[in-house]
Amino acid sequence: MNEKFTEFSLIDFLQSKFATSKKYNDIVLGNGDDAAVIDAGGEKCWVLSTDIQMEDVHFRLKTSTSEDIANKIMAVNMSDIAAMGAKPRFALLSLGLSSHNSMTDTFLKDFSEEMKSICNKMGIVLLGGNVSSTRGPMFVDLFMIGETERNKLVKRSGARIGDRILVTGELGTAAAGHFILSNPEIFVKKKERDFLINKQIRPEARVDAGNFVGKSEYANSMIDISDSLLGDLAHICNASKVGAVLDAKSIYISSELRNLGKQSVIDPLDFAFHGGEDYELLMTASKRDAEKIEEYFYHTLKLRLTDIGEIVSLDEGIKIETENGLHEAKIKRWDHLK
Amino acid sequence: MNEKFTEFSLIDFLQSKFATSKKYNDIVLGNGDDAAVIDAGGEKCWVLSTDIQMEDVHFRLKTSTSEDIANKIMAVNMSDIAAMGAKPRFALLSLGLSSHNSMTDTFLKDFSEEMKSICNKMGIVLLGGNVSSTRGPMFVDLFMIGETERNKLVKRSGARIGDRILVTGELGTAAAGHFILSNPEIFVKKKERDFLINKQIRPEARVDAGNFVGKSEYANSMIDISDSLLGDLAHICNASKVGAVLDAKSIYISSELRNLGKQSVIDPLDFAFHGGEDYELLMTASKRDAEKIEEYFYHTLKLRLTDIGEIVSLDEGIKIETENGLHEAKIKRWDHLK
């Protein structure tokens, strides 16, 4: 009777336990995607997301400032909303405060000043929340509501055979930042160290990109990369009942991560495939629509979009093509309960 | 620069920092009430609430089972929704799991079984959530969405001079349960001990009562008693810009709490005025409407509604009438950050 849950088996267990029945017609999308969706009248719907940042699990107070924490809790939630093709609108905040920060006004003032500044910049309204003390590590838990039109939602489940697999930005950099923070003795040039650590501590949500993908209806499926490229691609494949073939040499690796690979034991490609918390958008679209998305991202958002492979049939599974041939992808994911 | 926040000064600070501007017409009610309210199309609106249960602050694993924790996190959130006159509809769950429970399936299976049973009973759909480990105490954070019609919302700010002040159920019992749990050496009869502890560990949200008050439009203002009778009455008075006179002898004290008063140093009336976590509903209504509410509660819900005083003008403040005359109420509240 003491079987152990992993983070993923627990989420699967809870999702199956609370699988949304179809009896309420104001539930547009139940649990199982990046966010749930409810009806907001007419063609409009509200996209609901929640994500947490926990001290000593998601950040350390030694290396993250209160502004960094505010940025990250907003980014991880905005990323979920963006991955549905929606625009973030409202938030509710839960603060768990421990003695080392609950009583000092500077920490909380800086934190809320930064929250306010991000909210103002993004047009998000913080509508409420709660505070509690804790005898353990501090945490910030956020509920976010985004807005979109019902027929512009981009789900995990829409990938089609023949779709190109596309990803924004650079992969593996957040994991590389985490690696440097955990191994401070590693010699890395200051500029590269700062760049990689910043990607871990201050991830940027692809809000405009996600919003464009939703509005344009160019993509068939989308997810944000929080677990890892392969882990989140597996989410798309499972939900869409398809397989995928990735081309290893097409994966874009930043020069900073490449240099880290030269100076340490790590394999940059391994970080790109298996590293979490990049908060880039992973999507699938027909070849023709993929080109349109790439063009808009390139010209208007100045954001890289890389074509990394193709959606294939379910029975082919998820494979990676390398110089040594085609092999099955091993999906490793960070377990937040371990 | 190290000024210390109390829970209440921090909430005031955050509320003023994030005071909702009027520029979005889909915000029906910004932060500052039991819950925020957004537009759900037509006359319908969504009521948004979030509340947390933290180990060693709100419950102890020695005295609360996983079913108790599920009941309480649902009750405290349903209570906020009910206090707006709304009906709970959807929830998102955040779990912070520590090593003593994250890995045992029995705790989590019992917890989610109970969550599901409450959701089914109340017609609430759990739409998603997240899990994280923590190196400290465990916690459950819930985000709840309720539904009502825009013109049936019952706010804190609607109390009018001459309104009767009404409260459901019994006051001070949850605080008495907390007192017994903290002072196990006190001699109390088993039946009374169980009754009072149960009120602390398994509070009941007045969902049907709140829903009726909303639909009937009989009450001018409403709040749930989470801080304390006087603390939450002060919230109504501040929001409505009125004062209040309470009649001490009208306060209903359960026989169990009266007996505890005889067997220990505690003053039952002190617990009724200052004890938190009763999750009863406190409302104000004209004398005529108060009678209609009382009748419905008595006949249909079998729920006690007590008339405990009258709303007066702002400059009179909050006063209590006792055998020794009229005196100003001292508002003591439990500070969750202390």
pLDDT in tens, B178-227: 999 999 888 889 999 999 999 999 999 999 999 999 999 999 999 999 99
Q: In this complex, is the C-beta atom of A61 within 8 Å of any C-beta atom belonging to chain B? A: no
Please give, rounded to a whole number of angstroms, the shortest distance from the CA of B122 to a CA of chain A.
Answer: 14
Kind of pairing, strands A281-285 and B125-133? Answer: unpaired
- Topology adopted by domain A20-152: 60s Ribosomal Protein L30; Chain: A; (3.30.1330)
Please give, rounded to a whole number of angstroms, the shortest distance from the CA of B202 to a CA of chain A.
Answer: 20
Q: What is the pLDDT of residue B1?
A: 37
ipTM of the complex: 0.91
Assess whether pLDDT exceeds 90 at residue B93. yes
Please give, rounded to a whole number of angstroms, the shortest distance from the CA of B106 to a CA of chain A.
Answer: 7
Q: Which residue of A lies nearest to B144 if distances are taken between CA atoms?
A: A143
Q: In this complex, is the C-beta atom of A338 within 8 Å of any C-beta atom belonging to chain B? A: yes
Q: In this complex, is the C-beta atom of A128 within 8 Å of any C-beta atom belonging to chain B? A: yes
CATH architecture of structural domain B18-152: 2-Layer Sandwich (3.30)
Please give, rounded to a whole number of angstroms, the shortest distance from the CA of A337 to a CA of chain B.
Answer: 5
> What CA–CA distance (Å, rounded) separates B103 from A6?
8
Q: In this complex, is the C-beta atom of A19 within 8 Å of any C-beta atom belonging to chain B? A: no
> What CA–CA distance (Å, rounded) separates B224 from B278?
8
Class of domain B156-328: alpha beta
Listed by start position, the domains of chain B span 18-152, 156-328
Interchain CB distance below 8 Å, A127 and B7: no
Assess whether pLDDT exceeds 60 at residue B65. yes
Please give, rounded to a whole number of angstroms, the shortest distance from the CA of B123 to a CA of chain A.
Answer: 10
B-chain CB neighbours of A103 within 8 Å are 2, 4-5, 337
B-chain CB neighbours of A39 within 8 Å are 40-41
pLDDT in tens, B131-173: 898 989 999 999 999 999 999 999 999 999 999 999 999 999 9
The pLDDT tens digits along chain A (338 residues) read 345 778 778 888 888 888 876 678 899 998 777 789 999 988 999 999 999 999 999 999 999 999 999 999 999 999 999 999 999 999 999 999 987 765 578 888 999 999 999 999 999 999 998 889 898 999 999 999 999 999 999 999 999 999 999 999 999 999 999 999 999 888 889 999 999 999 999 999 999 999 999 999 999 999 999 999 999 999 999 999 999 999 999 999 999 999 999 988 889 999 999 998 999 999 999 999 999 999 999 999 999 999 999 999 999 999 999 999 999 998 876 666 65
Q: In this complex, is the C-beta atom of B112 within 8 Å of any C-beta atom belonging to chain A? A: yes
Q: What is the pLDDT of residue A314?
A: 97
Assess whether pLDDT exceeds 50 at residue B2. no
pLDDT band, residue B337 (cuts 50/70/90): low
Q: What is the pLDDT of residue B320?
A: 97
Q: In this complex, is the C-beta atom of B122 within 8 Å of any C-beta atom belonging to chain A? A: no
Q: In this complex, is the C-beta atom of B124 within 8 Å of any C-beta atom belonging to chain A? A: no
B-chain CB neighbours of A22 within 8 Å are none
pTM value surpassing 0.95: no
Q: What is the pLDDT of residue B114?
A: 96
